Amino acid sequence: MEHPIFIKNASQLITVGGFSETPARKEKMKQLSIIENGAVWIESEKIISVGLTSELERKYSKQLHQAEVIDAAGKIVIPGLIDPHTHLVYAGSREDEFNLRLNGATYMEIMNSGGGIHSTTARTREATEEKLFKESKNRLDLFLLHGVTTVEAKSGYGLNWETEYKQLKVVKKLQRSHPIDVVSTFMGAHAVPREYKDCPELYVDLIINEMLPKVANENLAEFNDVFCERGVFTPDQSRRILEAGNRLGLKPKIHADEIEPCQGAELAAEIGAVSADHLLRASEQGIKEMAEKGVIGVLLPGTAFFLMTEAVNGRKMIDNGLAVALSTDCNPGSSPTVSLPLMMNLACLKMGLTPSEALIASTINAAHAISRGNEIGSIEEGKKADLVILNIPNYIQIQYYYGINHTDTVIKSGKIVVKDGRRC
Ligand code: NIG
Ligand code: FE
């Protein structure tokens, strides 16, 4: 049997408790629930007890000698970070296009002339499953070193069954072999492949009639995502694809209003998507409808930063009642990063969030964005023991320092997987 783990003396133990059933919104997005001089008792993958160090030392006095004790004096303990939107599984990189954009080309111009998503699709189609696995695993290792313990991963660089399947198999293999929990999303509707350029409806039919049933039959994904955008998939096509997935048990997500207004937020509310992501150009009405229907807004500050566009007004969205989560959007074109802490910095500096809101958006609200509010995202008794110890004395320093990785220890499913900032 594994030894229990006892974390004690944390200068701040940030539980983010109380939001397992429904995500935090409005002023509740500031309620972190902080225990000073806090402690956690962990056993068999689960959080067993949370409280003051003195209380837990008393409660477990007879078992203390068997436990692995971590003294977190001068440090903070937070729930493992959750990234609810990544394009983790791809081959290659696109620094050539980064250079083109810095010389004046736009993201959509590059994509419409055959680059962008199409260029990564070509490389992903060519790559062997082993190569794809290795590149994706390397990224997951980096996520872990940044304190991320759960990651959603989308397919969408195959745009034909063979390669979409290859990506989804890589996700399965990562689920079996990597400490990070990987949540699978099918995104055959990431772009219209070049070979269907003149007949996009046929590609939509292919997704609906062939790909989605195979994904559901083989249990390859839990969510179904669509890039609803002018020149990619129309709201009508997106609705058809998401409804078809829904009928097969694949929960809808949507890349909504990223580059231009496209009624994506309205569509997310209409079909009851779990989340609508990006929302840079979402209408106020759309955000209101999402808030009313309980759709989570996943904001991706790194994408606006990297595409050099104005950041979304996250402040206003929270004030209007939207439950907001944050994500890296990790992908080779619009956000090549794994640093969720940096996204929290950007959310504060560019989107008007406060440090407490940014932390809630990266933990419990992010858990809700992947339908896991009851399992992860907070330090509460009975939840999975996913915790991070940061080498800073208070949580505001997560946002105050930027571009610095403070991750000291990562505990994933009750096991220490990062120690002194290194994999172990
Ligand atoms: O979320 N918008 C579509 N998909 C990604 C970008 C993918 C790429 O450029 O490779 C996004 O921004
Ligand atoms: Fe994305």
Distance CA 183, CA 82 (A): 11
Distance 159 CA to ligand 1 centre (A): 14
Residue 285 has pLDDT above 70, yes or no: yes
2 pLDDT tier (thresholds 50, 70, 90): confident
Pocket test for ligand 1, best of 96, 117, 309 (most atoms within 8 A of CB): 117
Distance 2 CA to ligand 1 centre (A): 41
Mean pLDDT, residues 292-297: 98
Instruction: Kindly report the protein residue whose alpha carbon is nearest to atom 1 of ligand 1.
Output: 329
Q: Work out the percent of the chain whose per-residue pLDDT is above 70.
A: 100
CA distances, 262 to each of 255, 258, 287, 288 (Å): 10, 9, 13, 16
Q: How confident is the model over 334-361, as pLDDT tens digits?
A: 999 999 999 999 999 999 999 999 999 9
Angle value at C-alpha 215, between 256 and 258, nearest 5 degrees: 10
Residue with the larger pLDDT of the pair 90 and 1: 90
37 pLDDT tier (thresholds 50, 70, 90): very high
Mean pLDDT, residues 272-285: 97
pLDDT at 76: 98
Instruction: Kindly report the protein residue whose alpha carbon is nearest to atom 8 of ligand 1.
Output: 333
The residue among 154, 147, 156, 155 whose CA lies nearest residue 179 is 147
Distance 232 CA to ligand 2 centre (A): 13
The number of the ligand nearest the C-alpha atom of 229 reads: 1
Mean pLDDT, residues 202-230: 98
Distance CA 104, CA 110 (A): 11
Please compute, for residue 394, the number of CA atoms within 13 A of its CA located in the half-sphere on the CB side.
Answer: 5
Which atom of ligand 1 is found nearest the CA of 85? 1
pLDDT at 1: 61
Question: β-strands 38-43, 46-52: how paired?
Answer: antiparallel
Amino acid letter, residue 387: L
Residue 123 has pLDDT above 90, yes or no: yes
Which atom of ligand 1 is found nearest the CA of 329? 1
* Residues with C-beta atoms within 5 A of ion ligand 2: 329
Pocket test for ligand 1, best of 110, 329, 330, 337 (most atoms within 8 A of CB): 329
Which atom of ligand 1 is found nearest the CA of 259? 2
Q: How confident is the model over 133-157, as pLDDT tens digits?
A: 999 999 999 999 999 999 999 999 9
Contact 107, 333 (CB under 8 A): yes
Contact residues of ligand 1, CB 6 A cut-off: 87, 116-117, 120, 227, 255, 258, 303, 329, 331-334
Mean pLDDT, residues 384-391: 98
Mean pLDDT, residues 37-46: 97
